[in-house]
């Protein structure tokens, strides 16, 4: 049976793609950002996930104003990096997992989530930057990827509660797939940032860290944060954090933290990154740092 073995949360700042592609990741500005992903790159190399369900938002690349799906799932064979205005990133094409993706799509629709099914699209920095942060610069990405796009651009985006429930339904779908697959769910975007208007540059470190705290353990308080609070407290683009709640919902009742990283600034934003284990007494392989070792970091 397929099983969800870990959840990863990460910002997906486009500048990090530029830094990675141009070899600037060791520069003094970028080193503290990339250093927070060193642990994860080594861990991912050991974990060898078969499939990543990558929750992200399209930034007016695959979807323009003609079509605005609230939740869309990529069921295609392959996705190319999008040209976002400065030419496509020179990173590998993304290989899909159509069998699992279609299975999840069908299961979600039966669970009353009205998914949009995408067979052909390009994927932008929202999806490719997290792959670079977690896997570095391989010739091919080391796993299959199922893109799951959430509208967080045109209001209203889905509520945090709905995103959490979608994650719960994804977990159910994955666990009913007969093939033995190691599946991770990644929630990307965030943390606090505002890219527009006179209030641009807003950063709320205290709020961000409370949000990170809330993803660890068994509390489900984060699912009840209203959109207005994200807007007021974390800036207009902080709403992307609802996508982390899809990942969290997919982890089940309890989670254990393996790795945590937070840094300000990265371009206009705060960088947040978290690696979680579902910790529901299911006998999953619990490799990775122990809590005591993390506390000593």
Partner 1 sequence: MTGPTNIHEYLAAFDDIPGTRVFTAKRARQGYQLNQFAMSLMKAENRARFKADERAYLVDWNLTDEQREALLARDYNRLLDLGGNVYFLAKVFSTDGQSFAQAVSTMTGMSFEDYTAMMVGGGRSPEGQRSIKANGAAGADPLESN
Phi, psi of 182 (to 5 degrees): -90, 110
> Rounded to the nearest whole angstrom, what is the least distance from the CB of residue 256 to partner 1 in the complex?
26
> Rounded to the nearest whole angstrom, what is the least distance from the CB of residue 121 to partner 1 in the complex?
13
Under the binding rule (CB under 8 A), the answer on residue 199 touching partner 1 is yes
| Single residue of 23, 48, 178, 198 touching partner 1 by CB under 8 A | 198
270, 9 in Cβ contact below 8 A? Answer: no
Instruction: Report the distance separating Cα 266 and Cα 260, nearest Å.
Output: 16
Residue number with CB closer to partner 1 (147 or 235): 235
Under the binding rule (CB under 8 A), the answer on residue 280 touching partner 1 is no
Residue number with CB closer to partner 1 (64 or 180): 64
Under the binding rule (CB under 8 A), the answer on residue 287 touching partner 1 is no
C-beta atoms surrounding 132 within 10 Å: 23
Coil, strand, or helix at residue 262? strand
Instruction: Report the distance separating Cα 239 and Cα 227, nearest Å.
Output: 7
| Single residue of 265, 284, 289, 294 touching partner 1 by CB under 8 A | 265
Under the binding rule (CB under 8 A), the answer on residue 226 touching partner 1 is yes
Residue number with CB closer to partner 1 (46 or 65): 65
Instruction: Report the distance separating Cα 195 and Cα 203, nearest Å.
Output: 11
- Number of residues forming the site for partner 1 (CB under 8 A): 51
Which residues are designated catalytic? 125, 193
Which is it for strands 78-81 and 122-123: parallel, antiparallel or unpaired?
Answer: parallel
Helix (H) / strand (E) element for 271: namely strand 269-278
Residue number with CB closer to partner 1 (138 or 156): 156
Please choose, from the candidates 64, 70, 53, the residue with its C-alpha nearest in 3D space to the C-alpha of residue 121: 64
Under the binding rule (CB under 8 A), the answer on residue 61 touching partner 1 is yes
* Per-residue x/- track, 90-129, partner 1 (CB under 8 A): ----------------------------------------
Residue number with CB closer to partner 1 (49 or 147): 147
Under the binding rule (CB under 8 A), the answer on residue 15 touching partner 1 is yes
Instruction: Report the distance separating Cα 182 and Cα 5, nearest Å.
Output: 6
DSSP state, 217? Answer: B
80, 174 in Cβ contact below 8 A? Answer: no
Q: Which stretch binds partner 1 (CB under 8 A): 31-39, 129-137, 264-272, 282-290?
A: 264-272
Order of strands, sheet of 78-81, starting from the edge strand that comes earlier in the sequence:
94-95, 78-81, 122-123
Q: For binding to partner 1 (CB under 8 A), which residues are involved? A: 14-15, 59-61, 64-66, 82-87, 153-156, 159-161, 192, 194-205, 207, 223-228, 231-233, 235-236, 264-265, 267-268, 270
């Amino acid at each position: 049976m397929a099983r969800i073995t870990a959840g990863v949360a990460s910002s997906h700042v486009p500048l990090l793609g530029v830094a990675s592609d141009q070899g600037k990741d060791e520069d003094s500005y970028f080193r503290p950002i990339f250093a927070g992903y060193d642990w994860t790159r080594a861990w991912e190399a050991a974990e060898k996930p078969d499939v990543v369900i990558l929750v992200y938002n399209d930034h007016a690349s695959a979807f323009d104003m003609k079509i605005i799906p609230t939740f869309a799932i990529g069921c295609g064979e392959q996705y190319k990096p999008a040209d976002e205005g400065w030419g496509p990133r020179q990173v590998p094409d993304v290989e899909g997992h159509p069998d699992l993706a279609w299975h999840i799509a069908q299961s979600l629709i039966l669970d009353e989530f009205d998914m949009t099914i995408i067979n052909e699209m390009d994927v932008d920095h929202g999806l490719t930057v997290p792959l670079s942060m977690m896997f570095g610069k391989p010739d091919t990405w080391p796993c299959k990827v199922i893109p799951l796009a959430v509208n967080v651009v045109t209001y209203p985006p889905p509520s945090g509660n709905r995103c959490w429930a979608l994650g719960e339904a994804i977990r159910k779908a994955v666990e009913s797939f007969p093939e033995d697959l190691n599946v991770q769910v990644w929630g990307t975007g965030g943390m606090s940032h505002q890219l527009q208007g006179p209030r641009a540059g807003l950063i709320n470190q205290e709020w961000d860290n409370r949000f990170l705290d809330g993803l660890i353990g068994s509390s489900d308080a984060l699912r009840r944060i209203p959109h207005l609070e994200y807007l007021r407290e974390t800036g207009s683009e902080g709403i992307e954090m609802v996508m982390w709640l899809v990942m969290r919902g997919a982890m089940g009742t309890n989670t254990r933290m393996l790795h945590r990283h937070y840094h300000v600034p990265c371009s206009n934003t705060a960088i947040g990154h978290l690696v979680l284990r579902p910790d529901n007494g299911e006998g999953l392989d619990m490799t990775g740092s122990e809590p005591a070792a993390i506390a000593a970091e």
